Amino acid sequence: MTATSNTIAAAPILANRVALVTGGARGIGASIVERLSRDGAAVAFTYSQSRETADTLVKRLEGEGRRVLAICADAADPAAVVAAVDQTATELGRLDILVNNAGVASWGPLADFKLEDFDRVVAVNVRSVFVATQAAARHMVEGGRIVNIGSCNADRVQAAGGGVYAMSKSALVGLARGLARDLGPRGITINNVQPGPTDTDMNPADGAFAAKLHQIMAIPRHARSDEIAAMVAYLAGPEAAMVTGANMLIDGGFTA
């Protein structure tokens, strides 16, 4: 006689949840979109210029039976950011998870750094995070999750020219700690993930500066973008309900 199993498969950990990932068409953002989607969430993501890449990601995930929405929105435009948040909540029915991933990097010597580059770094890396968080909090209920993608450069800048970028990522540390106090009484958490060198098209593992970066690290390699996404998925899930105002380094010991 063959035993019959009555085991019922557990629902995906993020079933019935809705997420928005800013800057989600490529790199770390795309890996976060894929991970949250495969954990059961319906996922919207923004992009500004990567239309073809965004469409490819949507088609691939929809082919797996996922619910995905791509929204064209420039993170430097506050009105576009708010509209993307509201569109997500309207079209997908709610908003439970916000991942502030959109970012830009401008490096250069102090003497030559252009004010317009400074303004764009602040607009995208800091202001858009505040704007999206403020808009998302209007839709979220208890159990909401906000995750910012910062950088290990908030704690260590390995070379000259990175002051403005580091400043923008350091700002997220204070923002998350402060907003944790605003959002905590509502049962909403906010945290930062601070990646180190990560293998993307903007910072390839075989790039010109990779070897020098690896010499600084305890684990001498670039992270994979899915490793960053795994940390985000933890913070977005139910097991992280008591984690808020935290800065989670995932940098292979870059700052150790």
Question: In the chain, what are the domain boundaries?
Answer: 18-250
> In this structure, what is the dihedral angle of CA atoms 94, 78, 152, 246, given to the nearest 10 degrees?
-40
Task: Assess whether 165 carries a catalytic annotation.
Answer: yes
Which of these is catalytic: 45, 47, 165, 254?
A: 165
For the beta sheet containing 18-21, the strands, ordered from the edge strand earlier in sequence to the opposite edge, are 68-72, 42-47, 18-21, 97-100, 145-149, 189-195, 247-250
Tens-digit pLDDT profile for the chain (256 aa)? 455 556 667 889 999 999 999 999 999 999 999 999 999 999 999 999 889 999 999 999 999 999 999 999 999 999 999 999 999 999 999 999 999 999 999 999 999 999 999 999 999 999 999 999 999 999 999 999 999 999 999 999 998 999 999 999 999 999 999 999 999 999 999 999 999 999 998 889 998 889 999 999 999 999 999 999 999 999 999 999 999 999 999 999 999 9
What is the spatial distance between Cα 31 and Cα 244, in angstroms, rounded to a whole number?
A: 23
What is the spatial distance between Cα 170 and Cα 86, in angstroms, rounded to a whole number?
A: 28
What is the spatial distance between Cα 137 and Cα 181, in angstroms, rounded to a whole number?
A: 13
- How many CB atoms are closer than 10 A to CB 63? 8
Residue 226 CA neighbour count, 13 Å, CB half: 4
What is the spatial distance between Cα 157 and Cα 254, in angstroms, rounded to a whole number?
A: 10
**What is the chain's alpha carbon radius of gyration, rounded to the nearest angstrom?**
19
Per CATH, which fold does 18-250 belong to?
Answer: Rossmann fold (3.40.50)
pLDDT score of 201: 86
What is the spatial distance between Cα 110 and Cα 119, in angstroms, rounded to a whole number?
A: 14
pLDDT score of 195: 98
Query: Of how many residues is the chain composed?
Result: 256
Question: How many angstroms separate the first and last alpha carbons of the chain?
Answer: 58
* Cross-strand pairs, 69: 44
The pTM is what? Answer: 0.95
The helix/strand/coil state of 248 is strand
* 109 φ, ψ (degrees, to nearest 5): -65, 150
pLDDT score of 60: 97
What is the spatial distance between Cα 252 and Cα 97, in angstroms, rounded to a whole number?
A: 26
Query: Where would I find the H helices in 144-240?
Result: 163-183, 210-216, 225-236
Query: Where would I find the H helices in 19-156?
Result: 27-38, 51-63, 78-92, 115-122, 128-137
pLDDT score of 10: 81
